[in-house]
Amino acid sequence: MENKTYEYIVIGAGYGGVTAASLLAANGVDVLLLESHTVIGGCASFYKRKNFTFDVGATTFSGVLPHQPLGKLFDELGIKPNLKKLDPGMVIMMGTQKIIRHAEKEKWIEEAIRVFGEKGQKLFWNELYALSEKAWAIVGANYKIPPVDITDFVSLFKIKNIKALPLLKALFTPVSSLLKKCGLHEHPMFYRFIKEQLLITSQNTPEDTPLLTAAMGLTYPSETYYPYGGMYKPGQLLLDKFKDNGGIVKFKSKVSEILSIPGGYELKTMKGESYFTRGLISNIPVWNLAKITEGKAKKYFENFTRKFPKAWGAFTLYFAIESRVELETLYYQIHTKREIPFIESNAFFVSFSAQDDVEKAPEGWRTITISAHVDVQKWNLDDIDEYERRKVMVTERFIEEFDLAFECFSGLEKLHLLSGTPGTFEFFTGRFKGYVGGIPHSVKNNLLRLPPGKTPFSNFYITGDTVFPGQGTPAVVLGALNVVKRILI
């Protein structure tokens, strides 16, 4: 047992946790970072098989412009990740139709008109881009959103914020209303396109996704990047900076209990260790916090568990192929004609490693991660034989659909083929029930209803994808930036 009392302990080395820890250490704060796994990254982590590195999630990297969360973070810490901007940021394949998500707005709108027809496209996309720009500007400039006390409310009533009040309407207006306004609600192909895009960005449907969050999600392919070496690599630079500034990290240290003590907190781990701190930042989901806190804190987090009882899980597939084929981009969304059993969408997302990324695969090879949304309950089975049957069935169907979408790779050996379910994510990341992607954004449970970064308990803060402003690396990093501002200012 350590007798030392840290100024702050950060639980979880996902992007929210490592961001908060690195910023605090850079400002002279004595910080201990506890991570239950052997590596950083959480849902944006990795695993290795011989000379191959696989991203555990089929995620994209964005938000790195100077005015965006990751851009601000890298600038403040003097970090320069090895990133490649993708243009197009994504390619969507719907049957025989290939849709190119160009990085430049006007070029993308031209593509949307080519594919879906001219009716309503300019109006729809111009409104979304304008909303997205205003939303990031407001959220990024106000670290006290959502307000948790009277001083927060007072600080938000500034002239520049009052001018942004019309944006509130977009929090309570679903995407379906804009589709109707633009005459696109009865366009089957466009509706399916938007529905599947919303599922991977906002975790919800056009009828229930607020316009404001949809705007930030649907426009993000304009700034999509590929991090060489894997999604975790920029996070590793953050961890290196953290350690350079005196921060201490302990892996295989899963926190099993958080106890309130005079002047701070005692954290107990599964290994029987105890750590003491005056301040605490948790980067684990609110559902998990309800299991390891006590007293008033336990009731506080249990309230959020009741308010947000469900989230999505994921089915993932990993393999490597021998390939020297140049691709239009590295991120694809594939819409399937056939229904895939035990998958909640007729679409899946594919992430390729770059041809020249020899950190992820030897020359002439690529690693591939495929991901799709699933209902966690369909994979929470006591019948092991049925679980394995479903796993094999979905794996085989994914491979068939992948070969149909990418004929150039059809029939090639899938090396190191592995698949994952919500149970896999729960086992390796510790996330409650294997929920991934955070809390779905909805009109009822909009951004302002998400748990705030500041809790009612002294020096106890939370970050991550179950906290405002929600899921995705830029949002998670923004949440951590805001928490650190609350602590330091």
Write the CATH number for 359.
3.90.660
Q: Is residue 133 part of a domain?
A: yes
Q: Is residue 398 part of a domain?
A: yes
Average pLDDT over residues 434-454: 87
Claim to verify: residue 353 and residue 423 sit in the same structural domain: yes
Claim to verify: residue 255 and residue 178 sit in the same structural domain: no
Q: Is residue 89 part of a domain?
A: no
pLDDT(350) > 60? yes
Q: How far apart are CA 334 and CA 441, in angstroms?
A: 23
pLDDT(352) > 90? yes
Average pLDDT over residues 308-330: 94
Q: Tokens 């994914």 correspond to what residue?
A: 398
Residue 234, amino acid: P
Q: 468 Cβ partners below 8 Å, 6+ apart?
A: 145, 146, 447, 448, 450, 451, 452, 453, 479
Claim to verify: residue 250 and residue 342 sit in the same structural domain: no
- Tell me the residue range of the domain where 415 lies: 312-434
Q: 317 Cβ partners below 8 Å, 6+ apart?
A: 369, 370, 371, 395, 398, 399, 417, 418, 419, 420
Average pLDDT over residues 109-120: 97
Q: Could you tell me what percent of the chain has a pLDDT over 90?
A: 79
Out of 388, 413, 434, pick the residue that ends a domain. 434
Q: Which of 48-57, 164-173, 301-310, 327-336 has the lowest mean pLDDT?
A: 164-173
In degrees and rounded to multiples of 5, residue 323 shows phi and psi of -155, 135
Q: What pLDDT, on the 0 to 100 scale, is given for residue 175?
A: 96
Residue 123, amino acid: L
Average pLDDT over residues 289-299: 97
Contact 422, 313 (CB under 8 A): yes
Q: Which helix (H) or strand (E) holds 153?
A: helix 150-156
pLDDT(62) > 70? yes
Whether residue 146 is preceded by a cis peptide bond, meaning omega within 30 degrees of 0, is: yes
Q: Dump the DSSP string for 473-486.
A: HHHHHHHHHHHHHH
Claim to verify: residue 183 and residue 205 sit in the same structural domain: yes
Q: 409 Cβ partners below 8 Å, 6+ apart?
A: 321, 323, 325, 402, 403
Q: Which long-range contacts (CB under 8 A, 24 or more apart) does 343-347 make?
A: 343/315, 343/372, 343/373, 343/374, 343/394, 344/312, 344/372, 344/373, 344/374, 344/375, 345/196, 345/199, 345/372, 345/373, 346/196, 347/196, 347/199, 347/372
Report residue 96's pLDDT band, with 50, 70 and 90 as the boundaries.
Answer: confident
Q: Could you report the per-residue pLDDT of 190-232, keeping only the tens digit for each?
A: 999 999 999 888 888 999 999 988 998 899 888 999 999 999 9
For residue 293, what are its two tokens? 């806190």
Average pLDDT over residues 80-99: 94
Claim to verify: residue 238 and residue 295 sit in the same structural domain: yes
pLDDT(164) > 70? no
> Mean pLDDT in the chain?
93
Claim to verify: residue 329 and residue 413 sit in the same structural domain: yes
Q: What pLDDT, on the 0 to 100 scale, is given for residue 139?
A: 75
Claim to verify: residue 160 and residue 255 sit in the same structural domain: no
Average pLDDT over residues 46-56: 94
pLDDT(420) > 70? yes
CATH of the domain at 38: 3.50.50.60
Q: Is residue 166 part of a domain?
A: yes
Claim to verify: residue 293 and residue 276 sit in the same structural domain: yes
Claim to verify: residue 268 and residue 368 sit in the same structural domain: no
Q: Is residue 88 part of a domain?
A: no
| Number of domains composing the chain | 3
Q: How far apart are CA 410 and CA 436, in angstroms?
A: 30
Claim to verify: residue 405 and residue 468 sit in the same structural domain: no
Using left for φ > 0, alpha for ψ between -120 and 50, and beta otherwise, residue 474 falls in alpha
Q: Which of 112-126, 145-159, 261-275, 408-422 has the lowest mean pLDDT?
A: 145-159
- Residue 203 CB: number of other CB atoms within 10 A? 25
Q: What pLDDT, on the 0 to 100 scale, is given for residue 167?
A: 77
Claim to verify: residue 273 and residue 379 sit in the same structural domain: no
- Residue 454 CB: number of other CB atoms within 10 A? 22
Q: Is residue 369 part of a domain?
A: yes
Q: Which of 161-165, 404-408, 432-436 has the lowest mean pLDDT?
A: 161-165
Q: Is residue 50 part of a domain?
A: no
Max mean pLDDT range (141-150, 209-218, 251-260): 251-260
pLDDT(143) > 70? yes
Report residue 346's pLDDT band, with 50, 70 and 90 as the boundaries.
Answer: confident
Q: What pLDDT, on the 0 to 100 scale, is given for residue 162?
A: 57
Q: Is residue 52 part of a domain?
A: no
Q: What pLDDT, on the 0 to 100 scale, is given for residue 142?
A: 79
Claim to verify: residue 367 and residue 464 sit in the same structural domain: no
